[in-house]
Amino acid sequence: MPKISQKGIAMPASPIRKLTPYAEKAKKEGKKVYHLNIGQPDIETPANMLQAIKDIDFKVWAYTASEGTASYRKKLAEYYNQLNYQITPEQIIVTTGGSEAINIILMTCLNPGDEVIIPEPFYANYNGFACQTGVIVKPILSYIENGFALPPISEFEKLITEKTKAIFICNPNNPTGYLYSLKELEALKTLALKYDLYLFSDEAYREFCYDGKSFESPMHLSGLEENVIVLDTVSKRYSACGARLGCIITKNQKVLDAALKFAQARLSPGLVEQIAGEAAVDTPKSYFEQVNAEYTSRRDLLVKSLNEMDGVFCPNPGGAFYVVASLPIDDADTFCQWTLESFDYENQTVMMAPATGFYSTAGAGKNQVRMAYVLKTEDLKKAMICLEKALKAYPGRVTPTQITETLHNL
């Protein structure tokens, strides 16, 4: 029998999706499953974005330019310049989702064997993209006790070698919801300039900042123009995950020239998606005000409910729509599978993502789960009741002392 590649063997499974078969089985058994495992918003996509698709009247569904249509890139530049990024349409490459943007930029900026430092926990698919491109992820632990704040710069410096080529952040963070401050970004700027590193900034959740906090981007920092590369997507901003439309933004012309060659190799991003994306830029401010109010309400409910449970701790995130919580359990992977396979409360159960998949450090996140507050408040309340009942019934429940001992052994 022909063999698959070593890369195929090494490619990690998604912690967000790997429990799907158990959820489907639970549904077939008649259970109601509350999906907190995946960041698929239930917020309606802006009407003007959907209307643009309905109004399409082209006769030939043609290729677009590899870098994206001129009209869409012009519209995107207007959007980013309202955020003070000070870019031109020529400094944008449109991609097939944010995932392709990350893949292209890793191939453009790093060689196989080069290292990228990423604060963890981080978006699980970064591990997959690194596997595909041969890049080595060097994780640096952030801790739930201080809300997953950026680790001290001295800890970053301990990881830097001659193979280190980049630092990668997600702001606001997936999976923790942590929102980086301007002071933290300034510290990363100093590090990037000192060691001549790229600073990759995944800004998929830019629009979702709470409690009056403002979003800051490395694009706002002067003197870092050749180092910063922003990776973005319409998926979360416009509740349009199925559009598969993202982009790369940088003022580094050499990076743009090289990245375009990878973009040419995959031909072009979708035409219909760009038509919708162009219309989406005109989404009224009131849409985001309503969305943020809704997510704030959901966050407050989720965090309060979790922290009221015996043995549970959940920091209050400043952005995105995720939380990472520590639970009084022996193993998050086992627990999350158990809630689907062996547990229900009034024929209901909850699906979560084990946090181990968002770490590269062995043993980290073993008692943590990520939850996405993408359900309406009534469903979130029911999901929290299910979780509290599950924690009381779970045979692998542990004491706070046992959790502390595990953390100290990392």
Q: Rounded mean pLDDT of 69-92? A: 98
Percent of the residues in the chain that have a pLDDT greater than 70, as a whole number: 97
pLDDT surpasses 80 at 409: no
Whether the Cβ atoms of residue 42 and residue 375 lie closer than 8 Å to each other? yes
Range with the lowest mean pLDDT among 67-76, 203-212, 355-364?
355-364
pLDDT band at 44, cuts 50/70/90? very high
Instruction: Specify the pLDDT at position 17.
Output: 77
Strand 322-326, strand 228-233: pairing: unpaired
- The residues, any chain, with a CB within 8 Å of residue 349's CB and separated by 6 or more, are 26, 31, 32, 33, 34, 339, 340, 343, 386, 390
What residue segments make up the domains of the chain, in order of their start?
6-44+286-408, 47-280
Length of the chain: 410
pLDDT band at 52, cuts 50/70/90? very high
Q: What is the DSSP letter of 149?
A: P
Q: Rounded mean pLDDT of 207-235? A: 97
How crowded is residue 7: how many other Cβ atoms within 10 Å of its Cβ?
11
Instruction: Specify the pLDDT at position 175.
Output: 97
| CATH match of 47-280 with 1.20.1560.10 | no
How crowded is residue 393: how many other Cβ atoms within 10 Å of its Cβ?
13
pTM of the predicted protein model: 0.94
pLDDT surpasses 90 at 327: yes
The average confidence (pLDDT) of the chain is: 95
Instruction: Specify the pLDDT at position 109.
Output: 98
pLDDT band at 18, cuts 50/70/90? confident
| CATH match of 6-44+286-408 with 2.60.40.10 | no
Alpha-carbon span 219 to 230, nearest angstrom: 8
Whether the Cβ atoms of residue 241 and residue 40 lie closer than 8 Å to each other? yes
Percent of the residues in the chain that have a pLDDT greater than 90, as a whole number: 93
Whether the Cβ atoms of residue 35 and residue 378 lie closer than 8 Å to each other? no
Q: Rounded mean pLDDT of 121-138? A: 95
pLDDT surpasses 70 at 75: yes
pLDDT surpasses 80 at 168: yes
Whether the Cβ atoms of residue 350 and residue 386 lie closer than 8 Å to each other? yes
H helices then E strands: how many in the chain?
A: 14, 12
Whether the upstream peptide bond of residue 119 has omega within 30° of 0, thus cis, is no
Radius of gyration of the chain (CA): 21
Instruction: Specify the pLDDT at position 14.
Output: 79
Instruction: Specify the pLDDT at position 401.
Output: 63
Q: Rounded mean pLDDT of 353-374? A: 94
pLDDT surpasses 60 at 410: no
Whether the Cβ atoms of residue 234 and residue 223 lie closer than 8 Å to each other? no
Residue carrying structure tokens 């009741």 = 385
pLDDT surpasses 70 at 405: no
Instruction: Specify the pLDDT at position 402.
Output: 61
Q: What is the 3-state secondary structure (H, E, C) of 341-398?
A: HCCCECCEEEECEEHHHHCCCCCCCCCEEEEECCCCHHHHHHHHHHHHHHHHHCCCEC
Span 341-362, pLDDT tens digits: 999 999 999 999 999 999 999 8
Whether the Cβ atoms of residue 166 and residue 117 lie closer than 8 Å to each other? yes
Instruction: Specify the pLDDT at position 118.
Output: 98
Q: Rounded mean pLDDT of 331-348? A: 97
User: What is the three-class DSSP state of 323?
Assistant: strand
CA 42, 45, 46 angle in degrees (round to 5)? 140
Instruction: Specify the pLDDT at position 400.
Output: 64
* Alpha helical stretches, state H, 83-173: 97-109, 125-133, 153-159
User: What is the three-class DSSP state of 83?
Assistant: coil
pLDDT surpasses 90 at 397: yes
Q: Rounded mean pLDDT of 31-41? A: 93
Residue type, 369: V
Alpha-carbon span 129 to 200, nearest angstrom: 14
Q: Rounded mean pLDDT of 198-216? A: 97
Alpha-carbon span 288 to 310, nearest angstrom: 35
Per-residue burial over 312-338, b = 16 or more CB atoms within 10 Å of its CB, e = otherwise: bbbbebbbbbbbbbbbbbbebbebbbb
pLDDT band at 254, cuts 50/70/90? very high
Q: Rounded mean pLDDT of 302-325? A: 97
How crowded is residue 1: how many other Cβ atoms within 10 Å of its Cβ?
3
